[in-house]
Structure 1
């Protein structure tokens, strides 16, 4: 009996972790994360998500070298065929690698780093601002349990090495 109770607790904990990952999968898939963080590729019927690079962000091989003038007005434009680079009054931003790659993704992030980023709109909760089109005002309203589930799911994905460029400041018009 002394062995059975810890074993049942361990199994229950595994089930809870699996439930958390499944909840995170659901939230990621219904909250539009793939729309910006998964590069597009040419499909039989037009652009489609490149699921081999799911949630890996702007492809490091798709280099944008020239600064981009912000669009007229307060609007944002997608400037890469991959659907992962955006220009607006803030400059040029690139979708982040959300996979658990240790060097180029969220692999070294703690759950608290993720929560603080989503709550504050700052990288790691204390760095540079998280730029548009990331809807921090929307995702910051998620519960801690939902954000923890999203993080658990992202950590369960295959790690994809993909170094996303740093944002580029706007050029004057």
Structure 2
């Protein structure tokens, strides 16, 4: 009987100690993303960037036999800074008819001309932004994720991307940090008076 009592006491003490350890571990991990495997996080980020169509506007393209093709060396690098500013019909833009340049890295409409930003891991790209800035850009439509910055312009669908979970935004951010760095600073947006017909 005494042996049975000692075994029960030992089992209870072990269970209490294990629960306390699990409780402490949980408390120290509060606020961390549930995806801790960085390789899995980057893979998830690449998947999200692909299905969200980020390459549609943020990657320069060349014309191939079946239409525009991505250029692997410049993926997600935005409107090339060494390219002349695309020409748009300002009268159509002022009437609310949106237009794109030949590879969709620039767009024009009532807002003026907007140029796709560099999202690569280079210092000139969004991959170098802190996660909080990246999150603020997607959640609140702010350029470079800075509160006092200008709003993100069409066709950037930040209002849709704002619905991503924190974990998904962190995964996209993690993936962008692994992309090929491309030094490129896209032109600043232009107003109608600067538009060329």
Same fold, TM-score > 0.5, yes or no: yes
Q: Shift in Å at residue 64 of structure 1?
A: 1.1
Aligned residue for 1:142? 164
Q: 1:36 to 1:172 in 2, by over 3 A?
A: closer
Gap runs ≥5 in structure 1: 1-13
TM-score, with structure 2 as normaliser: 0.74
Alignment of 1:7-46 (within 5 A): 16-46=37-67
User: What residue number does 1:6 align with?
Assistant: none
2:58 and 2:79 in contact (8 A); partners too: yes
C-alpha separation in 2, matches of 1:15 and 1:72: 48
Offset from partner CA, 1:124-151 (integer Å, 9 cap, x none): 2321111110001100011111011111
RMSD: 2.4
Q: Which residue of 2 aligns with 1:112?
A: 132
Q: How far did residue 67 of structure 1 move?
A: 7.9
Equivalent residue runs for 1:10-89 within 5 Å: 16-64=37-85, 69=90, 71-78=93-100, 80-89=101-110
CA distance in 2, matches of 1:32, 1:107: 17
Render the CA deviation track for 1:100-119: whole Å, top value 9, x for unaligned. 111x2124310011001111
Aligned length: 159
Give the 3 Å change call, closer, same or farther, for CA 136–109 of structure 1 in structure 2.
same
Distance 2:89 2:81 in 1: 18
Question: Structure 2: which 5+ runs fail to align?
Answer: 1-34
Q: Displacement, 1:168?
A: 0.5
User: Secondary structure at 1:47's aligned position in 2?
Assistant: strand
Which of structures 1 and 2 has the bigger CA Rg? Answer: 2
